[in-house]
Chains A and B, each alone.
Chain A
Amino acid sequence: MKKDNALTIFVFSLLILIFPLIYKDTYLLTIGIFIGINALVAIGLTILMGYAGQISIGQAGFYGIGAYVSAILSLYFGLPVLLSMLLAIVVACIVSIFIAIPALRLKGHYLAVATLGFGEIVYLILNEWGPGGPSGFGDIPRISLFGYTFTTSYEYFYFVWSIVIIVMIFSFNLINSMTGKALKAIHGSETASATVGINIVKLKIKVFILSAFYASMAGAIYAHYVTFLSPSSFSLFYSVMVLMMVVVGGISNLWGGVVGAFIITILPELLRGFKELDVLVYGIILTIALLFVRKGFVPLILEGYRRWLQK
């Protein structure tokens, strides 16, 4: 199983490497970058939901903190972009601790509502006090590595996906480790976990921080890629979209986040032809998908692959 993961990541990395060489289309690359950014947020939520049994409808909050803090630090305080990104992630992680400590004592719907509330608070703050208020602000510096500034979609594409791959490797290591087993144990039975000495609250808080880490990192990359931010990108709608990605992709496997991000990001693009009916078609497709592919697309793909092997 672990060797499978390593192989899958290797093949996947190759695909990422050659994709821009085959499709030299800026539009496709841009979509590719957004898939990568969304995948980062979705992977965090996949771990939180699938491996720790917690739910969050507030990931947009961490995504927004990552984006705004990094943008403000680099634009108004003149900090180097990478340092701003790092500090933004730290801020988001610290905020997540304060959210996690009270929120994770709640369960199920209550936790969902608490995180939803958090997301809305961040959204309101960005609207009221963010630079430019509801209309946002621009001229955010681009990412530069060792004095080299990223300008083309190619560079951003490789940058984002390198991070996605690093995050995937890190996450696979984590969930396959003893820590991951302890998380699975909590998901299985909290009562039993406690009676074998697992500190449930501490582990849940850590997973929550991890999901905030990934989301804020994605937000920071987003800010320095589009170079323009407005609060509307960080509304409840985004949290729900990430939730959709995770559910559509499947929570039982880390790839669910990536596949879900791919499907949910690409679907509106494919539906452009429907013009104003696109939202309707989008809804119908998702409803059908959730009715018939309940465990998500990744388990479906794996099942198909297994059958194909047996033939």
Chain B
Amino acid sequence: MASEVILQVINVSKSFGGLRVLNNVNLSVKKGNIHALIGPNGAGKTTLLNIISGLEKSDNGEIVFKGKSLRRLSSYKRARIGITRTFQNLELFSDMTVIENVMAGMYFKRESGFIASGLKLRKVRKDEKDIANRSLQILDFFELSHKKDEIAKNLPIGEQRLVELARAIASEPELILLDEPAAGLNIKETKTLGILIQKIRQDMGITVLLIDHDMELVMKICDFITVLNFGEVIAEGEPIVIQKDPKVITAYLGEEF
């Protein structure tokens, strides 16, 4: 499979005070892959995701998306060119309804001005209707359309995660970053999530870069795995290779094992 690279992380380093969280990290995500980023707690995974999505700045190095450097792009601009994400500690618009959350994900596609909105021009109404319809389709995909009018924070955690995922999908990204999507989910929910992630890739053609601690999920759905430990890439390869890599086993289980 010689598919093209959609995202490149080149020599990225990041320190918080004296603590070096990422050290010359290099990583390539191929288009259409489900790519996992794993590693013990504190390995710098979330920081790397934050840097890719523009929420944090790297000290040096470069993020290249579809051949273009993201250096000068702030977070919302990165979303507009096709990178969206979900969060480990949910960042839902908690006082809005489920469908409003998803609609917000589509806002930038049909932005209209204050005056047009205040005067409720025909175009504004049509755009909103289109967005509502499309959002409903997306909720259907996640089997959540029956809960569309519920306030997001009243849903169970598992469903909140799906709403967040639906919102990220609504922006029609080419690359989606998932930060521990299975955290707080039970076995059954995790299984459903795995199937959904695969469907997102297959049906929508979205490349996935995900962090998770659930090895069963990671090994099952991912095409490629990068292992981080103390801010450095210690191994990468296909799941079967990673499972047997002695360095990875040591990182996870300690020297004596």
- Judged by a CB distance under 8 angstroms, whether A83 is at the interface is no
Query: For residue A181, which residues in chain B have a CB less than 8 angstroms away from its CB?
Result: 96, 100, 103-104, 107
Interface size on A, residues (CB 8 A): 27
Query: For residue B128, which residues in chain A have a CB less than 8 angstroms away from its CB?
Result: 177-178
Evaluate contact between A196 and B107: CB separation under 8 angstroms. yes
Interface hit among B138-146, B166-174, B199-207: B166-174
- Judged by a CB distance under 8 angstroms, whether A195 is at the interface is yes
Closest CB in chain B relative to A163 CB, distance in Å: 14
State the main secondary structure of chain A at its contact with B. helix
- Judged by a CB distance under 8 angstroms, whether A197 is at the interface is yes
- Judged by a CB distance under 8 angstroms, whether A192 is at the interface is yes
Query: For residue A193, which residues in chain B have a CB less than 8 angstroms away from its CB?
Result: 76, 93, 104
- The 30 listed contacts between A and B (C-beta, < 8 Å) are A170-B119, A173-B120, A174-B114, A174-B117, A177-B120, A178-B107, A179-B117, A180-B117, A181-B96, A181-B100, A182-B104, A184-B100, A184-B104, A188-B94, A189-B91, A189-B92, A191-B87, A193-B104, A194-B54, A195-B79, A195-B168, A196-B79, A196-B168, A197-B76, A197-B80, A197-B84, A197-B109, A197-B171, A198-B104, A200-B76
A206 to B168, CA, bound (A): 25
State the main secondary structure of chain B at its contact with A. helix
Most B CB atoms within 10 A — which of A174, A181, A187, A199? Answer: A181
Closest CB in chain A relative to B105 CB, distance in Å: 4
Closest CB in chain A relative to B161 CB, distance in Å: 13
Evaluate contact between B79 and A197: CB separation under 8 angstroms. yes
- Judged by a CB distance under 8 angstroms, whether B112 is at the interface is yes
Evaluate contact between A196 and B96: CB separation under 8 angstroms. no
Closest CB in chain B relative to A184 CB, distance in Å: 6
- Judged by a CB distance under 8 angstroms, whether A171 is at the interface is yes
Closest CB in chain B relative to A121 CB, distance in Å: 26
Query: For residue B77, which residues in chain A have a CB less than 8 angstroms away from its CB?
Result: 197
Evaluate contact between A194 and B117: CB separation under 8 angstroms. no
Closest CB in chain B relative to A263 CB, distance in Å: 25
Q: Take A188-B93, A189-B92, A197-B171 as given contacts and tell me if A179 and B112 are in contact as well, using a CB distance cutoff of 8 Å.
A: yes
Chain B: number of interface residues, binned into ranges: 35 or more
- Judged by a CB distance under 8 angstroms, whether B35 is at the interface is no
Evaluate contact between B107 and A182: CB separation under 8 angstroms. yes
A192 to B54, CA, bound (A): 12
Within 8 A of B (CB), among A192-243: 192-200, 206, 210
The chain A residue with its CB closest to the CB of B74 is A194
- Judged by a CB distance under 8 angstroms, whether A185 is at the interface is yes
Closest CB in chain B relative to A290 CB, distance in Å: 22
Evaluate contact between B108 and A198: CB separation under 8 angstroms. yes
Evaluate contact between B118 and A174: CB separation under 8 angstroms. yes
Evaluate contact between B114 and A206: CB separation under 8 angstroms. yes
Closest CB in chain B relative to A172 CB, distance in Å: 9
Query: For residue A199, which residues in chain B have a CB less than 8 angstroms away from its CB?
Result: 76, 108
Q: Take A173-B119, A177-B128 as given contacts and tell me if A194 and B55 are in contact as well, using a CB distance cutoff of 8 Å.
A: yes
Evaluate contact between B93 and A189: CB separation under 8 angstroms. yes
A188 to B170, CA, bound (A): 18
Evaluate contact between B79 and A194: CB separation under 8 angstroms. yes
A188 to B97, CA, bound (A): 12
5 closest cross-chain pairs (CB), A and B: A188-B93, A197-B108, A197-B79, A192-B91, A177-B117
A193 to B96, CA, bound (A): 13
Q: Take A173-B117, A178-B110, A188-B95 as given contacts and tell me if A195 and B84 are in contact as well, using a CB distance cutoff of 8 Å.
A: yes
Query: For residue A188, which residues in chain B have a CB less than 8 angstroms away from its CB?
Result: 92-96
